[in-house]
Amino acid sequence: MSTKASNGIKRVGLAPNLTSGFYGQDIISVRQFTRDNLDYIFGVADEMRAVVRRVGSTDLLKGHVLACVFYEPSTRTSSSFIAAMSRMGGSVIPINEVRYSSVTKGESLPDTIRTLESYADVIVLRHPEIGASEVAAKYARKPIINAGDGVGEHPTQALLDLYTIRTDLGKIDGLHVAMVGDLRYGRTVHSLARLLCLYDVRMTFVSPEILRLPLDVMNEVKDHNLPVRETYDVSDVMADADVLYVTRVQRERFADQAQYDEVKDCYVITPELMDKAKEQMVVMHPLPRVNEISYAIDDDPRAAYFRQMENGMYIRMALLAAVLGKA
Amino acid sequence: MSTKASNGIKRVGLAPNLTSGFYGQDIISVRQFTRDNLDYIFGVADEMRAVVRRVGSTDLLKGHVLACVFYEPSTRTSSSFIAAMSRMGGSVIPINEVRYSSVTKGESLPDTIRTLESYADVIVLRHPEIGASEVAAKYARKPIINAGDGVGEHPTQALLDLYTIRTDLGKIDGLHVAMVGDLRYGRTVHSLARLLCLYDVRMTFVSPEILRLPLDVMNEVKDHNLPVRETYDVSDVMADADVLYVTRVQRERFADQAQYDEVKDCYVITPELMDKAKEQMVVMHPLPRVNEISYAIDDDPRAAYFRQMENGMYIRMALLAAVLGKA
Amino acid sequence: MSTKASNGIKRVGLAPNLTSGFYGQDIISVRQFTRDNLDYIFGVADEMRAVVRRVGSTDLLKGHVLACVFYEPSTRTSSSFIAAMSRMGGSVIPINEVRYSSVTKGESLPDTIRTLESYADVIVLRHPEIGASEVAAKYARKPIINAGDGVGEHPTQALLDLYTIRTDLGKIDGLHVAMVGDLRYGRTVHSLARLLCLYDVRMTFVSPEILRLPLDVMNEVKDHNLPVRETYDVSDVMADADVLYVTRVQRERFADQAQYDEVKDCYVITPELMDKAKEQMVVMHPLPRVNEISYAIDDDPRAAYFRQMENGMYIRMALLAAVLGKA
């Protein structure tokens, strides 16, 4: 596989495995990662966390410039990347106004990317269309990091989710992971499920009938011979789950209101439900939440969703350092 | 009073006095400040001004990250905080697009704040609703600085106003401060009047009848036994005022146009009016101005409104350094 | 000519020549530049390019703050300035939301500028109205750099265009420069043509009848006794041009569709056309392009438009360093 480090125009296949290290590589899909790759990134993230907690920042990426290109808004993700770059001494070109920019004058994504890479050392791209990061990576000489492409992938989110499981529970193998809520449209659920296929885990998918996990993701999990169950009610998994990964069930997904009203309470995590849970487990959520996790459990040590956010910064520090050859 | 410096979840009362120093504290209200606190902050601001004028910047906050969260736009205030952080070597996550972000997906302010504090060391918050900063501070472990919460408070503005008086006139005690214009809705007037209650000053309030100072602020001033007068015409105070604090009288505040036309000229500061003023005095304005101060006096050495802007940067440098324990 | 370096209020004439060096000066118009000035800036840009390519960045402007004020969006130009400042160790206050800011409350441009210069060391201004930068420069004590004022000037674009010609072809004198497309409304074409009048070049203007170069620019070129021709068809110049400067022919400029359809294909640069071109020449474009240059020639070494973008960063680094006295 060719690398971008040489500054030559590269034409790589779709989301290649990171077989030759991260330097100069694009981060497009969770499919690029192996357990070894993940161990490496998680190790770097551990170091970043230690540095930030001890002294706040490093100078690792001093003089480096990140172009943070968001075709659709995502305060959480863009803030996390800006913080990550800043805490390594680098600079950021924040581009949130793409709707007003040359894109609305009709410029193609490749032209925009080739322009921005002439200013920056690495590009983080959020785009509403599936495959946009793949296209950007094809034309760019500098590394592209996919920060979400429509209903496609959001690999850095899946990495921070997995990192949070590993950090909070000390391991991934052997765990029972329950995913709850909208499993049909939830991009983060699909990516995390795919990453978990690299490990020896059990998965339970908890959702209303019309929001069940898509066939392709389910088949991928089954192909790895991992034990899988599906259920409609989250109380079925409370006593046994090591990880409760909660996502939002949106009213708009239901054809009629009565159908929604019937199921909605099965997917709200309350203190009463938490009473049934193990002492050592984590409740996760990609945020934003609306009603699906009661505020009353925010101070429960098992509530991991804000730690998850913090971990997002360390994972993004690790990825930026890695693709710039400084990890 | 508990401090945030320990990184533990803190539950503080409403706008506490800063009795135990600034490190780890929120800056929510002018009511937190004592004369001693103000002397301290003004002293740090003096140092910051000296540093900026001599060498442009320091490395005091190198590696620190500020999240600048503006739920409503304010170029002046956000630019001032960004410049303050930059001139101390720190980094900024600028979040101006909150209307497009997860807030519009329904996320609560506490969730947004708890997410951002996992990336940043300090949060500056501008919000259209009164009390928003108080709520944010209640949930945050990192310091919150109120940059304006609706018709509530804008403490850093009041501090920079007071600092400008002190810097330009060398003292605060003994002065005659005249506040002019819309005293009913002017948040900056209320906050400054409250801060001035800590000093031995005379105040005159100059406004149309329907824009007179609210009863609660007036009573607070009177409770401090400070000499107070009210008048309709700014020419009444021109000869005697040491400080002329001008705000805009907006046409929209008047029920009928004739009423507005009748009074509007009483509140425009012209060169002719300035001829009556003392040689040693200052004309201030929180900006933006529209017509209420003639451009013809901009080069008058008594016109202090642009110095006021510059002082805003020094005050914010001082506050940021103080709450981060680096002052 | 007075300088801003002394921090005193300066009242300069319209777009003065940079006779006393760049320190403290405004960059408003291409008319300020002489061949000597340009040689100096190009020399600094060469150094900046060498530094960026070798080590990525310098600390030349550490502690300096740029206010990047865009009253209308331009991702390319603002990103280029942000990258330029970042790669010299400086900080940026990005102000893209001016439509929501105090300007919409009615504040005048001079007040906005005098406020921002109290925070920043240099101001880059993009404004939809012709002459806005001139007005800003009149009131500002800090240097103003014009980043485009309506149909007026965009001097840093013209400088980067000229710098690209010099860098790619090794010289400017003696070249045949063909400008193609919308020569009537194209601000970049006018500015570049004016700058080229300082050199010994031939120019050919290729455009539809209704988009011919305006009389004033044409007369200025003729006043310098430079050989000039006009033609309707780009194929007329392909064999002889050293520089092909392409701009977009917009459908909206034509009264009827048939008229547009008739000419549009004369202004699309295809691989077939490039077969006729010299081996040593450059195709340039200010970007964004839509259809006027075929994607098929992007990898042709004569396609200079992405190098042009990169050169924009070096030119802006040079200008920022120069006006801040650090070049």
Rg (CA), chain C: 20
Check CB contact under 8 Å for C119 and B289.
no
pLDDT of residue A73: 86
Is residue A122 assigned to a domain? yes
* Residue B279: partners with Cβ closer than 8 Å, 6 or more residues away: none
pLDDT of residue A99: 59
pLDDT of residue C106: 61
Check CB contact under 8 Å for C288 and A111.
yes
Asked if residue C176 and residue C149 are part of one domain, the reply reads no
Options A76, A114, A224, A326, the catalytic residue: A76
Lowest mean pLDDT among A94-98, B25-29, C43-47, C320-324: A94-98
Give the distance from residue B256's alpha carbon to the nearest chain C alpha carbon, in angstroms.
21
B67: nearest Cα among B90, B89, B44:
B90
Strand, helix or coil for residue A261: helix
Asked if residue A274 and residue A143 are part of one domain, the reply reads no
Is residue C195 assigned to a domain? yes
Q: Which residue of C has its CA nearest to B52?
A: C63
Check CB contact under 8 Å for B119 and A313.
yes
Is residue C217 assigned to a domain? yes
Check CB contact under 8 Å for B96 and C97.
yes
Closest partner residue to C73 (CB to CB) among A97, A116, A119 is A97
Asked if residue C110 and residue C160 are part of one domain, the reply reads no
Query: pLDDT (tens digit, 9 = 90+) per residue, A263-315?
Result: 877 789 999 999 999 999 999 999 988 889 999 999 999 999 999 999 999 99
Is residue A93 assigned to a domain? yes
Q: Per the structure block, which two tokens stand in for B207? A: 């406004």
pLDDT of residue B12: 44
Query: pLDDT (tens digit, 9 = 90+) per residue, A32-77?
Result: 999 999 999 999 999 999 999 999 999 999 999 999 999 988 889 9
Please say if C316 is a catalytic residue: no
Closest partner residue to A106 (CB to CB) among C94, C290, C307 is C290
Angle at which helix A155-169 crosses helix A35-55, to 10 degrees, equals 70
Asked if residue C180 and residue C88 are part of one domain, the reply reads no
Residue C1 has pLDDT above 60, yes or no: no
Tell me which of C91, C108, C326 to substitute to probe the interface with B (most B C-beta atoms closer than 10 Å).
C91
Check CB contact under 8 Å for A119 and C94.
no
ipTM over 0.90: yes
pLDDT of residue C100: 47
Is residue C266 assigned to a domain? yes
Q: Per the structure block, which two tokens stand in for A188? A: 């983060």
Please say if A326 is a catalytic residue: no
Q: Per the structure block, which two tokens stand in for C147? A: 């980043």
DSSP bridge partners of B230: B205
* A contacts of C76 (beta carbons < 8 Å): 101-102, 115
Q: Are B60 and B319 in contact (CB under 8 A)?
A: no
| Long-range contacts formed by C10-19: CB under 8 A, 24+ apart | C10/C141, C11/C138, C12/C137, C12/C138, C14/C134, C15/C134
* C contacts of A67 (beta carbons < 8 Å): 79
Check CB contact under 8 Å for A94 and B97.
no
Q: In what order do the strands lie in the sheet with C65-70?
A: C91-95, C65-70, C122-127, C144-149
Q: Are C313 and C83 in contact (CB under 8 A)?
A: yes
Is residue A279 assigned to a domain? yes
Asked if residue A301 and residue A160 are part of one domain, the reply reads yes
pLDDT of residue C196: 98
pLDDT of residue C265: 75
Check CB contact under 8 Å for C287 and A102.
yes
DSSP bridge partners of C204: C178, C229
C1: nearest Cα among C9, C18, B291:
C18
Q: What is the mean pLDDT of chain C?
A: 91
CB pairs < 8 Å spanning A and C: 77
Angle at CA of residue A69, ends A63 and A72, nearest 5° = 155
Residue B184's CB is within 10 A of a number of other CB atoms, namely 16
User: What DSSP string describes B290-325?
Assistant: SSSB-GGGTTSTTB-HHHHHHHHHHHHHHHHHHHTT
Residue B298's CB is within 10 A of a number of other CB atoms, namely 16
* Residue A93: partners with Cβ closer than 8 Å, 6 or more residues away: A65, A66, A67, A68, A116, A119, A120, C79, C82, C83, C86
Asked if residue B133 and residue B102 are part of one domain, the reply reads yes
Q: Are B117 and B94 in contact (CB under 8 A)?
A: no
Domain span at residue C138 reads: 30-153+310-323
pLDDT of residue B16: 64
* C contacts of A9 (beta carbons < 8 Å): 299
Give the distance from residue A50's alpha carbon to the nearest chain C alpha carbon, in angstroms.
26
Bigger pLDDT: B263 or C198? C198
Q: Per the structure block, which two tokens stand in for C86? A: 């970042």
pLDDT of residue A12: 44
Asked if residue B103 and residue B212 are part of one domain, the reply reads no
Closest partner residue to C79 (CB to CB) among A63, A111, A116 is A116
* Distances B105 to A94, A153, B101, B109, C87 between C-alpha atoms, Å: 22, 20, 7, 12, 36
Query: pLDDT (tens digit, 9 = 90+) per residue, A149-177?
Result: 988 899 999 999 999 999 999 999 999 99
Options A87, A126, A176, A194, the catalytic residue: A126
pLDDT of residue A5: 45
Q: Are C195 and C226 in contact (CB under 8 A)?
A: no
Is residue B24 assigned to a domain? no
Q: Per the structure block, which two tokens stand in for B308? A: 């006021």
Q: Which chains does chain B touch, 3 or more C-beta pairs < 8 A? A: A, C
DSSP bridge partners of C92: C66
Average pLDDT on A98-124 reads: 81
Q: What is the pTM of this model?
A: 0.93
How much of chain C, in percent, has pLDDT values that exceed 90? 78
Please say if A64 is a catalytic residue: no
Please say if B154 is a catalytic residue: yes
Asked if residue C319 and residue C261 are part of one domain, the reply reads no
Q: Which residue of A has its CA nearest to B69?
A: A75
How sure is the predictor about C9, in pLDDT bands with cuts at 50, 70 and 90?
A: very low
pLDDT of residue C275: 98
Please say if C105 is a catalytic residue: yes
Options B4, B10, B64, B77, the catalytic residue: B77
Asked if residue B246 and residue B214 are part of one domain, the reply reads yes
Tell me which of C71, C82, C88, C297 to substitute to probe the interface with A (most A C-beta atoms closer than 10 Å).
C82
Asked if residue B57 and residue B136 are part of one domain, the reply reads yes
pLDDT of residue B66: 98
Check CB contact under 8 Å for C309 and A9.
no
How sure is the predictor about A17, in pLDDT bands with cuts at 50, 70 and 90?
A: confident
In whole angstroms, give the CA distance from residue A172 to residue B17: 47
Q: Which residues of C make CB contacts under 8 Å with B?
A: 9, 62-65, 67, 91-95, 97-98, 100-103, 105-107, 110-112, 114-116, 118-121
Is residue C143 assigned to a domain? yes
pLDDT of residue B186: 87
Report, as ranges of residue numbers, the positions in chain B whose pLDDT lies below 50.
1-2, 5-13, 100
Q: Which residues of A make CB contacts under 8 Å with B?
A: 55-58, 73-76, 79-80, 82-83, 86-87, 89, 94, 96, 287-290, 295, 299, 306-307, 309-310, 312-313
Q: Per the structure block, which two tokens stand in for A126? A: 């959020």
Here the CATH number for the domain that contains residue A141 is: 3.40.50.1370
Q: Per the structure block, which two tokens stand in for C151? A: 């149909």
Give the distance from residue C115's alpha carbon to the nearest chain B alpha carbon, in angstroms.
6
pLDDT of residue B20: 67
* Residue B263: partners with Cβ closer than 8 Å, 6 or more residues away: B208, B232, B249
Residue A136 has pLDDT above 90, yes or no: yes
Give the distance from residue B14's alpha carbon to the nearest chain A alpha carbon, in angstroms.
21
Asked if residue B163 and residue B294 are part of one domain, the reply reads yes
Check CB contact under 8 Å for A64 and C57.
yes
Q: Are C19 and C147 in contact (CB under 8 A)?
A: no
Number of domains in chain C: 2
Give the distance from residue B270's alpha carbon to the nearest chain A alpha carbon, in angstroms.
41
Asked if residue A130 and residue A168 are part of one domain, the reply reads no
